[in-house]
Chains A and B, each alone.
Chain A
């Protein structure tokens, strides 16, 4: 089935550093979303993108819907310890369908 390629798979950074991760697909997506998951919890929505080229911020998080509709990135500025977790991109690629395809995740570890 359709897959999203998410990179990097893991990141080890110092507190205060900026973070960038991205997601690519071989197919055009209508919607891109970024979720964060912490141990023992379900994913929590961070940012949703609905239009090609759209750039959206949520606090220290910024995400963009690529103009080709086949990619998206998420940036986190000035990382803090509570940013630790696994970040998933997800996309909806069939018009009118409700199901999402998720990437494999980027595990973020922060050294204080």
Chain B
């Protein structure tokens, strides 16, 4: 499809397990973002990639969270030793360039539930 694709759409895991969430941005979009949305809240910034490099990872809550984008396209958000508080919808977004501030195209999200 033409939009941002995220997999899995739903993930249920147990406390302490490792989780990977994948994002496939819109073709040609150089900027990629991860946000986290808790129930009843707005999205919260996690990390921003420009190409292959993480240009801003100031939103990652702790060192259990890590994201990569090795070829400048698909990105994976990795969460180690999951905790119940990690339960949320993880949204990925992309944009065509740095110049279009804030004009993000979001995927449908990956809903993570940690039991």
* Residues of A bordering B, CB below 8 Å: 4, 6, 30-31, 33, 40-45, 48, 50, 88, 90-92, 97-105
B interface size (C-beta, 8 A): 27
In this assembly, does B45 line the interface, its C-beta being within 8 Å of a C-beta of chain A? yes
- Whether the Cβ atoms of B102 and A42 lie closer than 8 Å is no
Proximity string of chain B (64-95) to chain A, C-beta cutoff 8 Å, 1 when within and 0 when not: 00000000000000000000000000010100
Whether A92 contacts B107 in the complex (CB less than 8 A), given A98-B33, A98-B55, comes out as no
CB distance from B13 to the nearest CB of A (A): 20
- Whether the Cβ atoms of B106 and A99 lie closer than 8 Å is no
In this assembly, does B62 line the interface, its C-beta being within 8 Å of a C-beta of chain A? no
The interface residues of chain B lying within 8 Å CB-to-CB of A101 are 45
Q: Please pick, from B42, B59, B98, the residue contacting A99 in the complex, using a CB distance under 8 A.
A: B59
- Whether the Cβ atoms of A100 and B103 lie closer than 8 Å is no
Sampled A-B contacts (6; CB under 8 Å): A6-B42, A42-B93, A42-B107, A45-B102, A48-B102, A100-B45
Whether A102 contacts B104 in the complex (CB less than 8 A), given A42-B4, A97-B56, comes out as no
Docked pose: A50 CA to B102 CA in angstroms: 10
Whether A100 contacts B102 in the complex (CB less than 8 A), given A43-B43, A105-B41, comes out as yes
In this assembly, does B24 line the interface, its C-beta being within 8 Å of a C-beta of chain A? no
Proximity string of chain B (10-36) to chain A, C-beta cutoff 8 Å, 1 when within and 0 when not: 000000000000000000000101000
The interface residues of chain A lying within 8 Å CB-to-CB of B48 are 98-99
Docked pose: A44 CA to B4 CA in angstroms: 12
Shortest Cβ distance from A107 into B: residue: B40
- Whether the Cβ atoms of B31 and A98 lie closer than 8 Å is yes
Docked pose: A42 CA to B34 CA in angstroms: 12
- Whether the Cβ atoms of B56 and A98 lie closer than 8 Å is yes
CB distance from A64 to the nearest CB of B (A): 16
Docked pose: A97 CA to B50 CA in angstroms: 12
- Whether the Cβ atoms of B101 and A42 lie closer than 8 Å is no
